Amino acid sequence: MAYLLGIDTGGTYTDAVILDEAADAVVATAKSLTTRPDLSLGVGAAMDAVLDTIDPADIAMVSLSTTLATNALVEGQGGRVALILIGFEEAELNRAGLNDALRGDPVVFLAGGHSHAGAALHDMTEDDVAAAIADLPDGLTGFAVAASFATRNPEHEIIARDTLRRATGLPVTCSHELSQALGG
């Protein structure tokens, strides 16, 4: 018999449910407090509670979801993130509605990016990235990096990511790591 385990971590509670796939029926549910900053404690507590009802070896799939990131955005919580845009113009930032979403967090524009075929449009080096971030304000908690056509060639995003991590020690997320779809 195959079971599906679903876990959802919300702002207050972490819920777990086991579904009997063949019967399309809920077998067990459990709730635990969401435990920040170590979410694994609340997830583990909810999981342990529902797994008391079945043999864990019968779990065919585990699905984990959360609304924490969405809640943080809607509530204006979270840290300050600098957006590094490579090969984009400011008009594209406005057209995408990112100015409103950033709520004053810094944006750095760098020459670079790639064509639709993956060819570099401009050379970009670690020195270019280091110079561009030299005057960023204190208090940043991370970076988001997006380069034109990074799905075709992520080279400039990787240069930026590696330089930012070495220079700041902060987390960096690149667009090509999140999606391979064009138009991101």
Cα distance between residue 143 and residue 160, in whole Å = 10
Domain boundary among 52, 72, 92: 72
Based on the domain organization, do 172 and 144 belong to the same domain?
yes
| Residue 94 structure tokens | 């406005």
Residue 184 falls inside a structural domain:
no
CB 175 within 8 A of CB 150: yes
Q: 183 in a domain, yes or no? A: no
Q: Are residues 150 and 111 in the same domain?
A: yes
- Residue 148 maps to which CATH number? 3.40.50
- Measuring CA to CA, which residue among 79, 109, 84 is closest to residue 161? 84
E strand or H helix that includes residue 133: helix 126-133
Report the predicted TM-score, pTM, of the whole model to 2 decimal places: 0.65
Q: Side by side, which strands form the sheet with 140-147? A: 107-110, 80-86, 140-147, 172-174
* pLDDT tens, N- to C-terminus, the chain (184 residues): 799 999 999 889 999 999 999 999 999 999 999 998 888 899 999 999 999 889 999 999 999 988 877 777 667 677 889 999 999 988 888 877 788 777 789 999 999 999 999 999 999 999 999 999 999 999 999 999 999 999 999 999 999 999 999 999 999 999 999 887 776 5
Which residues, 6+ apart, have CB-to-CB distance to 169 below 8 Å? none
166 in the same domain as 122: yes
DSSP string, 52-91: TTS-GGGEEEEEEEE-HHHHHHHTT-S-EEEEEEES--HH
